[in-house]
Amino acid sequence: MNYRHLTPSMSLLLAFEAAARHESYTRAAAELSLTQSAVSRQVQALEQLLGLTLFRREGRQVQLTDVGRLYQRDVSEALGRIRSATLQALAYQSGVGTLRLATLPTFGSKWLLPRLHAFYGAHPGMLVHIHSRIEAIDFDTSEIDAAIGVANHNLPGLICHRLHAEELVVILSPDAAREHAHWSPVRLSEQVLLNVANNPHAWGEWFSHHDLPHRAMRLGPSFELTSHLIQAVRAGIGIGLVPRILVQDELNSGELFSPGHPFASQRSYYLIYPPRNETLPSLRAFRNWLLEQI
């Protein structure tokens, strides 16, 4: 076999990877600052070199074939390793580094950002670019180096550092808190229950913990962001069940009221990243700092 066929040029691989990720020559061209026809020619050249059909073409639409999807997965991972290696070399040479970190929006604003100045103080010159993400991160197709999220367990194929267990607290507005002198679990269960979309089973776990019938639940609106749910509680729309670390300041100041004791959920907060990023100087510095904070 001609080994040249096994090592396509970087320009062909970049064009294919972008086109495969978007399943669009037009969007790949915009990303690479090329023309659509240039991307199409490079993909066709790669197909001829490999003797494979990587895309099905239907009019102006392109769709990955099965072998194209398999090839994309491995090429994306390889390109990710090359980018990481380049970043490591640049960071080593300059003595500084950049970290692209995804985090849950409310966790980022309420817990991480108020503490991040301490990281910059300890590591001058390093930059942490914060990206808000709610959905799971695909490290093979995104430009994210690491993420902070919640999960029930370690995630396969990723390095996971458990930061702390999630403790949930019921929160009420001050007006709602003044309505009754004593808020028992039964009385709480009669209220309109507000939900966060990425943790739809939280109230069910709370009801089970207090031996309350699930059929009695009065589920109210669901919110994508915990910060929006907190505002809804303040407005008197209902009561919430949220991580204590996200509302500790409001509880201390009296802006919100929490009856009873924290409830341990089945989830924990994790710092996660693919093994190929483990030696990134910026990630190593941030990981060590973050674990010290916990």
Residues of the chain with CATH 1.10.10.10: 3-89
Chain position carrying tokens 């503490």? 115
Is residue 245 within 8 A of residue 104, CB to CB? The reply is no
Element holding 29 (H helix, E strand): helix 25-32
Please state which of the four CATH numbers 3.40.228.10, 1.20.1420.30, 3.40.47.10, 1.10.10.10 is assigned to the domain occupying 3-89: 1.10.10.10
Place of tokens 């966790």: 107
User: What are the structure tokens assigned to 13, written together?
Assistant: 């691989």
pTM (predicted TM-score): 0.68
CATH 3.40.190.10 region(s) of the chain? 99-148+269-293, 165-268
pLDDT, tens digit, 9 for 90 and up, residues 75-103? 988 888 787 777 666 665 555 578 999 99
Secondary structure letter of residue 257 according to DSSP: B
Residue-wise pLDDT for 203-258, tens only, equals 999 999 999 999 989 999 999 999 999 999 999 999 999 999 999 999 999 999 99
Cα angle, residue 221 at apex, residues 107 and 269 outer, rounded to 5° = 25
Check whether domain 99-148+269-293 has CATH 3.40.190.10, yes or no: yes
Pairing of strands 127-132, 240-243: unpaired
Q: Greater confidence, 3 or 50?
A: 50
Q: Does domain 165-268 have CATH number 3.40.190.10?
A: yes
Q: Which helix (H) or strand (E) holds 271?
A: strand 263-273
